[in-house]
Amino acid sequence: MEALVSVLKRHPGLSVLVFSLIFRVTHRLLQRLHVPKVVKQDDFRSWKWRNLSVSMVHSLLTGPWAVICAWAAPEMLSNIHSHHTPLSYLLICISTGYFVQDAADIILTGHGPSSWEFLLHHAMVISSFLYTLYTELYVAGAVIALFVEVNSVTLHLRLLLKLAMAHSSSLYYINKFANILTYVTFRLSAQFYLTWYIVHNYSWLDHGLFFLICLMVMNIMILIYFYRLIRADFFPRSQKSVGQNGMQNSNSKRFPCD
């Protein structure tokens, strides 16, 4: 592990490109899996299904990995600036590769203008993660930021069920509560903890202003998305509009969140 990470540290940019290509291969392989008929009937639904499937793989991999890294090295929670382990550095390399691949997929398929919020999020994540990979600073902070991927598992499942028109199923009903729970526990808590750490230690942190701006922008975004989720899943206007929203949301060309 240490030998591999040593190579990654010598060539962080190339390492990210390699992992990006691996996720692209994953994207191709996932196309061989079964796709619901209702998804196949629409080009945008088909693309969105493939895109979310790769995102699900990334979330299932990196979310638990990030939690394990923090559990194995608790010092990362208190020393976000400079403490990290080989396993955590590898995690950030892999995750950065995913975000590069995903941003490229959105842009090259022509969905960039309608998914500008998603691309803005990716741009901030990629720039922050590349900074950590080249400087070996804030790796622990990037690991904590990836706690949000635990929530992304339920979030992506929600969107996949909507695409498959299964928003009235028991699985969707159970998942919407799990989604809110993980949103608060892993997404909001992680973001606000990182924000508190930057503000509390701002006077001595390297490039503290850059990270504070990124965090504040993402905090605003995730609060808006949280409001949208609660409104859509728990306070629909009427039973009729629930069905309509299920169709509209699954066809929407704006990604609700990562």
Q: What is the CA angle 26-33-24, rounded to 5?
A: 15
> What is the extent of the structural domain holding 14?
2-251
For the stretch 40-91, pLDDT in tens is 888 999 999 999 999 999 999 999 999 999 999 999 999 999 999 999 999 9
User: So what's the pLDDT on residue 52?
Assistant: 96
Question: 193 — phi, psi (to 5°)?
Answer: -65, -45
Q: pLDDT for 172-224, tens place per residue? A: 999 999 999 999 999 999 999 999 999 999 999 999 999 999 999 999 999 99
In a domain, 258, yes or no: no
pTM exceeds 0.75 for this model = yes
Whole-angstrom distance, CA of residue 181 vs CA of residue 175: 10
What is the spatial distance between Cα 7 and Cα 90, in angstroms, rounded to a whole number? Answer: 10
pLDDT on residue 238: 56
Q: Specify if 256 maps to a domain.
A: no
The pair of structure tokens assigned to 49 is: 């299904």
Q: Is residue 183 part of a domain?
A: yes
Whether 257 is in a domain gets the answer no
Task: Give the integer Cα–Cα distance in Å for 125 and 103.
Answer: 11
Span 87-145, pLDDT tens digits: 999 999 999 999 999 999 999 999 988 888 899 999 999 999 999 999 999 999 999 99
Look at the chain and report how many structural domains it folds into. Answer: 1
Whether 77 maps to a domain, the answer reads: yes
Structure tokens, 64: 């638990």
